[in-house]
Amino acid sequence: MQDDYDRFVADRLDRLLRYATAMTCDRHLAQDIVQNVLLRAQPRWGRIAAMDAPYLYVKRMVTNEYLSWWGRRAARDISLSHSTLATLAPAVTDHAAQHAERDAMRGRIAVLPRKQRAALVLRYYEDSTDAEIAKVLGCSEGTVRSHISRALTTLRANELAPVEVL
């Protein structure tokens, strides 16, 4: 049992941290969440391991921990700092142009509503199907598609009205 848990952690910790970081846009918050979730999962690992997809379940715990997170103000602070970063994006040299475009996109993604961002990360980082995303987010596939299409619309609209350049 303990071995199985250790193996899971060894195999998946890196991936979970990356996933949580992409979703939260805050590496320290991501660390807190992943760490707490894994610690909570340990004593009941027998039951989790017996499931069809333990990784999916743990990912759901991580996602839910973030989505239900009480610190709304802090979340806004994070978003703000990101959009500020995007606005203050480095002076655009030829070489940096691509990076600037990407970082601007990062800034725009960071200010999306949390559920939309989670859906986006699941699709474009975890390459999950709508059905898998629905399971992780605990909603219907229709809702998943609507989250993603709204996110894409926002990101496209923002593209047309680029963040102010200083």
Partner 1 sequence: MTDNEMLIRQAIAAEANEAVDPRAVMAELQKGKPRKKKWPLALVAAGVVAAAVAAVAVTVPHATPVTQPAAAQPATEQNILLVGVDDNQIADSVVLANVKPNGDTALVSLPRDIRIDGDTKLKQLLASGGMEKLTAAVTTLTGLHVDHYAVVTMKGMQALGNAVGGVEVCLKAAVMDSFSGADFPAGRQMLSGDQALAFVRQRHGLPNGDLDRVVRQQAFLKGIAKKALTKPARLPEVIDLVQKNVRVDAGWDMLEFAKRFTASPAVRAATIPVGATHEGPTGSGLDVDPQAVREFARTFTSSAAPTGSGTPAPGDGCIN
Q: Contact positions toward partner 1, by CB under 8 A?
A: 9-10, 13-14, 17-22, 25, 27-28, 30-32, 34-36, 38-40, 44, 47, 57, 60-61, 64-65, 68-72, 74, 101-103, 105-106, 109-110, 120-121, 124-125, 138-140, 142-143, 146, 152, 155-156, 159
- Give the shortest CB-40-to-partner 1 separation in angstroms: 8
CB crowding 50-68: b at 16 or more within 10 Å, else e? eeeebeebbbbbbbbbbee
Q: How far is the CB of 132 from partner 1 (least distance, A)?
A: 16
CA–CA separation, 110 vs 115, rounded Å?
Answer: 11
CB of 133 to partner 1, least distance (A): 14
Residue with smaller CB distance to partner 1, 84 or 140: 140
Residue 2 CB, shortest distance to partner 1, in Å, is: 12
- From residue 122, alpha-carbon distances to 31, 46, 125, 148, 153 in Å are 18, 26, 6, 10, 17
Q: Which is nearer to partner 1, 2 or 93 (CB)?
A: 2
Least gap, CB of 30 to partner 1 (angstroms): 6
The three-state secondary structure class of 15 is: helix
- Report the Cα 89 to chain-centroid distance in Å: 22
Please identify, using beta-carbon distances, which residue of 76 and 102 lies nearer to partner 1: 102
Q: Are 56 and 136 in contact (CB under 8 A)?
A: yes
What beta strand segments (E) does the chain contain? none
Compare residues 60 and 163 and give the one whose CB is closer to partner 1.
60
